[in-house]
Structure 1
Amino acid sequence: MLFRLFLSVLLALLKGLSLGSPVIPETHVLSEVLDYSHMYADDSVVKSFVDELVSLSHSSRNISKCDQCVTRLAVGKSLSLLRPDLVPRVFTQWCQQTQYMSNSSCVATFSRNTVKSSYTGTNFADMLSLMDPFGYDGQLYCCYKESACAKPKTPNVTLSHLWPAKQAKHFIAPEPAANDTFNVLHISDFHIELDYTVGAEANCSSSMCCTPHSRNTFANITSHPRKDWNSFYNSTYTDDGFVKGSLMDVFKNDSIWAPATTFGNYKCDAPEILINSSLDSIANFSFENNLDFEFAIFTGDLVDHDELTLTGYEMTVESEEVVFRDIKNKLGDVPMYPVMGNHDTFPYGELGQENHGFSNYFSWNSELMADLWEDYGWLTPKESQYARKHYTGFSVETKLGLKVISLNSNVWYKKNHYAYWNASQPDTFGQFEFLVEELVASEAKDQRVWIIAHIPFSGDALPLPAKLFAEVVERFSPYTIANIFFGHTHLDQFEILYSGPGNDAKTIENVVASSWISQAVTPWVNNNPSWRYYSVDKETFSVMNAYNYYTQLNETFSNNGAEPVWEFEYSSREGYNITWPETAPLNATYWHLVASRINESVEFNQIYENYATRFSPYVPDCANSTDCSLNYCYVTSFTVDQYDDCVTGVKSKR
C-alpha cells in the first residue's frame, strides 16, 4: 500500500515531464501520500522500498540491467521527493542485500554523508530529487556511474549564441617576438598523504599503501628480500632543508613485506617530506640558475587517494591548507594561480550548482580557498570575491597583460552526482558562460588567454561538457586562446583538437589547438615525481619550450636516507627530435607532428611512454605489449566522444 502511494506520486510527477522543466506533483496525490506516510514507522518505509528494489534484480522478471538501473532511479526519485532522509538507508540496504557492490563500496556510495567519511548518499538523494530518470539524465547516470546502460547519444546543443561571428584575423595566431621570453612554473597533483608512515606496508593488497592501515593479505612472507633498503629514517623537512633523523628498524614488524621508505613509494601518495623536497628543488634551481618565475600555475589535487571511508572533512581541509602553506613557504613571492581538483572537495568529487538549493554544502571550500589565496597575495580582493562565489574559479590579468582563466573541473566530472540532472542542457553551472564572457572581452581588445583546469575533457569528463568546451576552444583559437593546461592523469601528456569529426579529420590542415597535461609530484601510481616550467614568449604568451625535471624515487630506497636528487629529464622541443623552426612556438601543429610519430613508430610510442611515467621502473614495453596501443587515440582526442570513437576503431582492427 505505502509503496504504491509513493509510486503514484512519481507517476504524477512524471506526467508531461520534459527535460529542464520544473517537477510539480499533483497536490491531492502528494497530500494523500504524506498523510499515509506519517502512519508508518521509518523502518516500514525503508523495508517497503528495499523490497521493491530487490525485486527488480530477480532473474524471473527478465529485466535488462539498464532498465533495472533506470527503474531504481525512478523508485528512488519518488522517495527522494517525500522522504530524502531515507534514501541513503534504502539504497545502502538494497546494495548490501543484493551484493550489488562490496559492503564497503555500498556504504561509501549510498550511505548518508558525514564529516568523518566521504560518503555520498546525501548527494545521491539530492540528484534523484532533481533528475529525470527516464530521459537523458537516467541513461547517462546508468552508463557512467553504474556501467549498466550503453552511452547515450550526446545531445546536439550549442553555446554559439554567446559569441559574435569569428573575424578573419581570429583564424591566425600572432607571431612570437624575437627571443624575448619569461618563465612560468607548472606544478600539479601533490596528493599529500598526511598519515604516511615510514615502515608501513608499501605493497598493500587494497586501498592506499604506506599508511598505518595498509596490509598485504596475499604475501606469504618467509624472509625479507629487501633488507638492503636502508633509507628508513625518521626524517623531517624544515625551513633549513632536509634533516635526517635516526635509522629505523622497520623489519621488527614481521607483517611488513615492502617497507615504506622515507621519501615515498610507487603505490603511495606523497609524504609531506617529498612535497617539500620537490618545492625545495624548484627554489634551488631558480636560485642556482638565476632564473625567475613570472608566476606559477597549480592544476589541482592536494588530497590523497585513500578510500572514502577514511577521507574526512578535517583531513580534506588540513591537506589543502598544508600544501598551499608549503608552496607559499618555498616559492615566496612568486604569484601562483591555482585550480581545485576532484579530490579537493568534500565529499569527494561533488559540486552542486548555485541557486538550486545545494551549493551551501560546498561554500566552505570556496570561502577557505578564496581567503587563503588572497592572504598569500595570489589573488586580489576582487578576484578572491569572484572565486568565493563561483566554485573557486576566477579570472586574473598578470602584470605582463596575459589573462589566466581558472575553472573548477568538477563541473564536468563524471563522478559528480550534481552533473547528472538536467544533463542535456548546456551549462547548468554557468561556468561556460563565464568562460565565454571572459574570452569575448579579451578578443575585443586583442588580449591573449591561458585556461587552467584540473580534469582533461577526453577522459573523466562527461560527453556534453567536453563537446561544448571543444566548441568554445575552436571558436577562440588560435587568436585569443594561447594555451590550455590540465593535471589529473599524473602523466606527462598532451591533447590535440582538430576541426571536423572522425579520424579522417586528424590532419595538419585541421589542427585547431592543443593542451598541456602536467606530470605529478605524487608517485601514485608507478610514476616518478616531476615538475616543469615553460619558456613563454612575452608578446604572444605562446609556449616556446617546456623543461621537465624529475627524481628517480627508487634510488631513495637504498641511499642511507639521503635526499632525492632532482635532475633534468628532457625539453619538449628537443625530446621528440622533430624538425621545427626555433622561432615557432610549440603549438598544436608541433604536437600534431609528434602525435603522427607516435602513431607510426613503436620507437616514438616508447619515447612518449618514457616521458609520461618519467622513466619509472614500471614504464610499459611498447614493443612487446598492447599497453601503448591507445596512446595515439588519447593525444589526438579532445572530447569523450572523439576518444571513444577512436578506441572503438582501434579495437575493431585487432
Structure 2
Amino acid sequence: MILPQIFILGVIAAVGKALNVDYKAEADKAFGELVPSTNQTAINQLVHELREVSINDSRCQACLNRLAVGKRWAHENPGVIPVAWPQWCVEYNAGSPDSCTRNFARTTVDKNAEGSNFVDMLTLIDPHGYDGQLYCQYLEESSCPKPTTPNVSLSHLWPPKQAKHYVAPEPGNETFNVLHISDFHVELDYTVGAESNCSATMCCTPHSQGKGGGGYLYKNHWNSFYKDAHYDKEFTYVKGAYYDVFQNSSISAPAPVFGHYRCDAPEILVNSSINSVVDYAKKNKLNFEFAMFTGDLIDHDEQRWMDFDKSLASEEAGFRDLKSRLGDIPVYSTLGNHDSYPYGEIAQEGYGFSNKYTWNNDLMADMWKDFGWINETTSQFVRTHYTGFAVDTKVGLRIVSLNSNCYYRKNHYAFWNATDPDGFGMWSFLINELVDAEAKGQRVWIMTHIPPIVDGLPLPSKIFYEIIERFSPYTIAGVFFGHTHLDQFNILYAGNNTKTIENVINHAWISQAVTPWFNNNPSWRYYEIDKDTFSVMNAYNYYAKLNETFDNHGNEPHWLYEYSCRDGYGIHWPKTSPLNGTYWHLVSEKIKDSVQYRQLYENYATRFSPYVPDCSQEGKCENDYCTLTSFQVDDYDNCVSRVHS
C-alpha cells in the first residue's frame, strides 16, 4: 500500500542513536590496530627511500618501486607509513596537503583518511606484477599503462546453458509498480546562505570559501533564504522566517533553501523528493509493490570534513526519511562507494582486515530489519556476508543486492591478488543465487551501485559481464545501478562487443539522482513491471527544476513529469514487448547517428539542467555512444580510443 503508517522522525532517530555508541566503539577498536610511529629516525629513513626510488626511473617504475619499498616497511614497521608517506607526498608534489593526508594518513573515527587501508594493501600486494601495474594505473594517475586483463573465468561454477535459457519468457497482461530512487548524498551540514560557489571541498557548508562579493550578482534575483525551513512530523512544509544572507560580504553566491547545483542535497530536498513520490501516488491512486535504493547516502565532502559520526548519521538519515514517508513499502537497498568509512573501502574476509567494516554491516542489518524491509534470516545474512544479500519478494521475484565497492577502483583492498576472478567471493555468491533461481524457473533482478565502466576495475567487469551473459535472458530480468547521477543505460553485446541488434544480450538501468551535484536537476523514477516475467514494460521519470527554487521566496519545488522511456525517444516498439536490450539498442543507434538524439539523451540524462551540454559543439557528447553500449571496462576504453583516433 502506498498510504503508509506514520513513523515519527524523532522516534526512528532515537532507535539509531542508542546503537551508535556500539557501532563507533566497534570501528574505533578496529582502526586502533595500526599505531602511528613516533620514531623520527625511521620516519626520515622511509621518506628518504621514497625520494630515492622516485627520482631516476620512469613514472611507472618509480610507482612500482615505491610499492615495493612500502611492502617491506608494512611488514617490518607499518606504523611509520601513515606518518612518512604523507610527508613524502607533499614534498614530492604528488598531491595537495589535504589529498596527501587523506590518501596516506592513519584512519581514525575522527579523520576520514585511507592510510590504514593503504598499509593493509601494501602487506599483500605484488608490487611488480599485475597488482602493482593496476594500482599505478588507477590510483597513481596513470603512472603505468593499463595492464592486460587476465584471461580468467568462473564458468566452471555454472551448469551448461540449455536451449530454453536462450529465450526470455513472454510478458502477460498485468503489471505492478516499483519505485527506484538513488544517490541522496544528504549534506547534513548544508547551510542556507553559505557559499555555493566555493573554491575547494563541498560547497554550501559552514566551511565553504569563495571569492567574496556580498552576493551582488544575486541580490535582486535570489530570495529563497529561510534557515529554519523544514518538514514537520506530519510531513507539512514549514518555511519559517526570511534570513538576510546579503549582510555577509564574504559570500559571493549564497546557498538557497532547497539546494544548489554545486552542492549535495540538503535533507529538506531529500524529504521533498520522497514527499513528491507519495503525493503523486495518492493523486494517481498508484501503489508501489516495493522500492529500490541504489546507494550513496553520504555527501561528497570526504576530502577534509567527513568523520565517523557524520557518516553514520547520514546513513541513518537517508533510510529513516525513506521509512518515515514510505511506511509499509519495503525498500531494498545497496550501499554506494560513499556509504563506507573510510570512503570507498571494503576488505575481503580471510585476510584479517574485514573487521574494520563490520560496523556498517551491523548498522544495515539492524535498520533494515527494524524498518520491516528484511526478515531476521536476511538480517543475519547481511550482518555476516558483506558482499551482498538476496531477497525473495512477495510477488515471487528474487532481488540480489551486491556491494560494488568489491570492484571499485578506489578500494585499496581490490588491488591485491587482483588476478583472482573472485577475491571477495561476491561473484560466487551471485552465481549460486542465479543457478538456484534458474533451476526453480524464478526470475532475478540484480541491483548494485557502480556501473562497471564507471569507476570499476577491468577484471571484475569481465566476470560480471560473463555472468549476465550466461543467465540472460531466461533468468535475469533486470540489472539496476546508480552512481553516475545521470539517467543512463548500459547495453551488453555478445560477439566481442560487436554492437549489432543480433548480439544484444541484456541491458542495465542507471538511475538518476536526487542530489543535484554536479549540475543536475533532482529526480526519481518508477517502473511498470510485468507480473508474470518481472520485465520492465515502462519507466516514468519525474524531476524538479532546482533553479526555479532560487527565486520562489522559499516555496517548495514543483515536481514535474519528465518523460516515459517507452515514448521519450520515438521508437516504434510493440506495446506488449518489454523495454529490453533490443529496445535500448535501437535508442543507442539513434544517439550514435544524430546530434538531435544525442542532445535529447543529454537533456534526459541531466533532467533538462541549465548546464546540459550542447551536443552541437565540437567535442561535446562524443563519448555518449560508448558509455551506453559498453559494459566491460576494456570494451569501453577501446570504444573511446576509436572515437578519438
Into which bin does the TM-score normalised by the smaller protein fall?
Answer: over 0.9
Distance 2:440 2:644 in 1: 47
Are positions 1:438 and 2:433 aligned together? Answer: yes
Distance 1:208 1:386 in 2: 35
Are positions 1:209 and 2:203 aligned together? Answer: yes
Judge conservation of contact 1:339–1:392 (CA < 8 Å) in 2. no
Amino acid at match of 1:430: G
Distance 2:94 2:356 in 1: 28
Are positions 1:183 and 2:199 aligned together? Answer: no
Amino acid at match of 1:649: R
Secondary structure, counterpart of 1:570 in structure 2: strand
Q: 2:572 aligns with which of 564, 572, 579?
A: 579
Q: 2:522 aligns with which of 519, 529, 542?
A: 529
Q: 1:99 aligns with which of 73, 93, 102?
A: 93
Distance 1:206 1:617 in 2: 22
Match in the other structure for 2:604: 611
Distance 1:155 1:238 in 2: 55
Q: 2:330 aligns with which of 335, 338, 343?
A: 335
Deviation of 1:521 (Å):
0.3
Match in the other structure for 1:32: none
Q: 1:550 aligns with which of 532, 537, 543?
A: 543
Q: 1:628 aligns with which of 604, 607, 621?
A: 621
Match in the other structure for 1:48: 45
1:153-192 correspondence to structure 2 within 5 Å: 153-178=148-173, 180-192=174-186
Match in the other structure for 2:113: 119
Distance 1:173 1:528 in 2: 35
Judge conservation of contact 1:340–1:392 (CA < 8 Å) in 2. no
1:259-270 correspondence to structure 2 within 5 Å: 259-270=254-265
Distance 2:318 2:95 in 1: 34
Aligned CA RMSD, in angstroms, stands at 1.2
- Output one character per residue of 1:382-434: Cα deviation in whole Å (capped at 9) or x when no partner: 11111111116210001110000000000000000000000011111100000
Distance 1:165 1:238 in 2: 56
Judge conservation of contact 1:157–1:426 (CA < 8 Å) in 2. yes
Q: 1:569 aligns with which of 562, 567, 570?
A: 562
Match in the other structure for 1:314: 309
Cα 1:341–1:333 change in 2 (3 A) is same
Distance 1:400 1:104 in 2: 49
Deviation of 1:220 (Å):
5.8
Secondary structure, counterpart of 1:405 in structure 2: strand
Secondary structure, counterpart of 2:540 in structure 1: strand
Are positions 1:596 and 2:589 aligned together? Answer: yes
- Output one character per residue of 1:463-509: Cα deviation in whole Å (capped at 9) or x when no partner: 0000000000000000000000000000000000000225xx10000
Judge conservation of contact 2:193–2:255 (CA < 8 Å) in 1. yes
Deviation of 1:226 (Å):
4.0
Distance 2:607 2:618 in 1: 19
Secondary structure, counterpart of 1:436 in structure 2: helix
Are positions 1:67 and 2:61 aligned together? Answer: yes
1:342-421 correspondence to structure 2 within 5 Å: 342-391=337-386, 393-421=388-416
Q: 2:253 aligns with which of 244, 252, 258?
A: 258
Deviation of 1:224 (Å):
3.6
Secondary structure, counterpart of 1:395 in structure 2: strand
Distance 1:650 1:344 in 2: 34
Deviation of 1:56 (Å):
2.2
Distance 1:529 1:56 in 2: 48
Judge conservation of contact 1:508–1:589 (CA < 8 Å) in 2. yes
- Output one character per residue of 1:249-287: Cα deviation in whole Å (capped at 9) or x when no partner: 000000111110000000000001000000000011111
Judge conservation of contact 1:339–1:407 (CA < 8 Å) in 2. yes
Which blocks of at least 5 consecutive residues in structure 2 are unaligned?
A: 1-36
Match in the other structure for 1:294: 289
Distance 1:489 1:546 in 2: 18
- Output one character per residue of 1:35-87: Cα deviation in whole Å (capped at 9) or x when no partner: xxxxx9821112112101112233xx2x1000000000000000001111111
Judge conservation of contact 1:370–1:392 (CA < 8 Å) in 2. no
Distance 2:101 2:440 in 1: 53
Deviation of 1:183 (Å):
0.1
Amino acid at match of 1:422: N
Secondary structure, counterpart of 2:177 in structure 1: strand
Secondary structure, counterpart of 2:257 in structure 1: coil
Distance 2:526 2:39 in 1: 58
Are positions 1:136 and 2:118 aligned together? Answer: no
Are positions 1:650 and 2:643 aligned together? Answer: yes
Secondary structure, counterpart of 1:303 in structure 2: coil
Secondary structure, counterpart of 1:527 in structure 2: coil
- Output one character per residue of 1:181-230: Cα deviation in whole Å (capped at 9) or x when no partner: 0000000000000000000011111211100011113x566934443211
Cα 1:460–1:41 change in 2 (3 A) is closer
Cα 1:560–1:221 change in 2 (3 A) is closer
Distance 1:87 1:191 in 2: 32
TM normalised by structure 2 equals: 0.93
Q: 1:89 aligns with which of 83, 86, 93?
A: 83
Deviation of 1:308 (Å):
2.6
1:19-58 correspondence to structure 2 within 5 Å: 42-58=39-55
Distance 1:95 1:268 in 2: 29
Distance 1:615 1:64 in 2: 45
Judge conservation of contact 2:110–2:307 (CA < 8 Å) in 1. yes
Deviation of 1:568 (Å):
0.3
Distance 1:397 1:221 in 2: 56
Q: Percent same amino acid at aligned positions?
A: 59
Distance 1:304 1:49 in 2: 35
Amino acid at match of 2:58: S
1:504-523 correspondence to structure 2 within 5 Å: 505-523=498-516
Secondary structure, counterpart of 1:643 in structure 2: helix
Amino acid at match of 1:256: I
Which blocks of at least 5 consecutive residues in structure 1 are unaligned?
A: 1-39
Secondary structure, counterpart of 1:296 in structure 2: strand
Match in the other structure for 2:418: 423
Distance 1:226 1:619 in 2: 25
Distance 1:499 1:225 in 2: 53
Secondary structure, counterpart of 1:276 in structure 2: helix
Distance 1:295 1:474 in 2: 27
Secondary structure, counterpart of 2:304 in structure 1: helix
Distance 2:332 2:183 in 1: 14
Q: 2:240 aligns with which of 245, 253, 257?
A: 245
Cα 1:48–1:293 change in 2 (3 A) is same
Cα 1:392–1:262 change in 2 (3 A) is farther
Secondary structure, counterpart of 1:450 in structure 2: strand
Match in the other structure for 1:233: 226
Distance 2:514 2:94 in 1: 36
Distance 1:633 1:487 in 2: 18
Distance 1:358 1:303 in 2: 23
Deviation of 1:625 (Å):
3.5
Distance 1:522 1:226 in 2: 25
Distance 1:222 1:471 in 2: 54
Judge conservation of contact 1:366–1:392 (CA < 8 Å) in 2. no
Match in the other structure for 2:18: none
TM normalised by structure 1 equals: 0.92
Q: 1:475 aligns with which of 462, 470, 483?
A: 470
Amino acid at match of 2:539: A
